[in-house]
Amino acid sequence: MPKPETRKSTAAAPLWDTEHILPGGFAPMLPASAAGPLDSHDFAYELRWDGLRVLCGLELQDIIISTGAAGDILRWFPELRSLRDSAEPDWVLLDGEIVVFDGVRPSQERLQQRLRAGTPETIDALARQYPATLILSDILRIGDSWLMDVNWDERRDILGRAVRQREPIRLSPVYREGRHALDLAREIGLDSVLAKRLKGRYVPGERTREWLTMRPLEILHAVITGWLPGKSGRAADIGSVMLGMYRGDELTYVGYTLAAIDPESQVLLWPELRAREQSVCPCHDVPAVAGAPRWVFPDLVCRVKYHGWTAANRLRSPAFVDLDPAVLPSECRAATRAAVRARRS
């Protein structure tokens, strides 16, 4: 493959030697946290797989996959040796993450199981049972040419020409609409996306706003199904409210608020909850929660802020906003994944 024309990184030359493709002390760039933007023409969007972040260096036939902490990653993931056959350049430095899937969802449990394997026999057996995928998202160096001052969109173009996708090697999909990427992420059990500035450079070892991890807050309506007392011991101390939404004709438990409820809301909520107390959970699936939940008749609707859905169909980090008497409980409906897909098609 012809060597791409790049401008050398003025920052990289004095910091990183050229003797090894992955110099000692070189660390991956890190994203900052933000709530947006989801619709900016200055950014592209990738799914955040929450796998094992790695730097992959190829020197002729040698492969170095480093996390900066663990030892020889190829010992635990021997199937990733096929990276050498997928990469065109003899010398190349790549950024990505190792993911072990359970269907279409990344599985932290299976990833940790792979990393805890002790014997060669166990490693080989787990590699067959739970194969790993290396998802590559950036290219930082080809030979002696550092690419860190090259714009991200140009680096992605170079990455696509330098690496051939074939299992278990993939390139991270790129989306131009952040909301579309976020819908996809949540559909497969992820709670965030990465926004990458198209004209951004790569700053090794630093957390910059050229890359943003986005968990935008969303608001929905939910039915209050009960409450948990606060830690003060006062009768009117509401620690959190328990939430339900309808799926079909059944009221289903979807979680409880985690953030503290402000004093003004506590004053409004207390008489409403006391007037509706009942002995049984109104949800068809009685949740197992710590503490002593107090159940209520399910005709109170509130607004909650949240960060998407978990794999167990629970709201992620919901927070109480206010009561909304204009909405009926029957209107509080949790969208199924099929409905989400239908809206996009």
- For the chain, what are the domain ranges? 12-214, 218-344
Q: Is the pLDDT of residue 100 over 60?
A: yes
Alpha helices, DSSP H only, in the chain?
Answer: 12-15, 73-76, 83-86, 108-116, 120-129, 152-162, 178-187, 263-275, 337-344
Q: What is the pLDDT of residue 151?
A: 98
What one-character-per-residue DSSP string does 291-344 give? S--EEE-S--EEEEEE--B-TTS-BSS-EEEEE-TTS-GGG-BPPPHHHHHHHH
> Is residue 3 pLDDT above 60, yes or no?
no
**CATH no., domain 12-214:** 3.30.470.30
pLDDT (0 to 100) of residue 25: 85
Looking up tokens 């990289």 gives 12
Q: What is the predicted pLDDT for the residue at 202? A: 97
CA torsion sign for 144, 150, 152, 155 is negative
Angle at 311 between CA 179 and CA 241, to 5 degrees: 90
Show the tokens assigned to 288: 């197992």
Segment 300-307 shows an average pLDDT of 90
Q: Which two tokens stand for residue 170?
A: 């993939």
3-state DSSP assignment of residue 118: coil
> Is residue 188 over pLDDT 60?
yes
- At 274-299, the pLDDT tens digits run 999 999 999 999 888 888 899 999 99
**Fold identical between 12-214 and 218-344?**
no
What pLDDT does residue 4 have? 42
pLDDT of residue 258: 87
15 pLDDT above the threshold of 90: no
Would you say residue 17 has pLDDT above 70? no
What's the CA gap between 50 and 71, in Å, rounded?
A: 20
Q: What is the mean pLDDT of residues 219-228?
A: 94
pLDDT single digits (tens) 21-79: 998 889 999 999 887 788 899 999 999 998 999 999 999 999 999 986 656 799 999 99
Q: What is the pTM of this model?
A: 0.69
Q: Which residue type is seen at 202?
A: Y
2: DSSP letter: P
Average pLDDT, the chain: 87
Is 77 in contact with 127 (CB distance < 8 Å)? yes
> Does pLDDT of 159 surpass 90?
yes
Residue 6: is its pLDDT beyond 70? no
User: Average pLDDT in the 81-89 region?
Assistant: 95
Q: What is the DSSP string of 233-257?
A: --TT-EEEEEEEEEETTEEEEEEE-
What's the token pair of residue 257? Answer: 């608020």
Query: What percentage of the chain exceeds 70 in pLDDT?
Result: 90
**pLDDT band at residue 193 using 50, 70 and 90 as cut-offs:** very high
Query: Residue 11 has what pLDDT?
Result: 41
Q: From CA 329, how far away is CA 53, in angstroms rounded?
A: 43
Residue 219's pLDDT is: 85
**In whole angstroms, how large is the CA radius of gyration of the chain?**
24
CATH class of 218-344: mainly beta
> Band of the pLDDT at 137, cuts 50, 70, 90?
very high
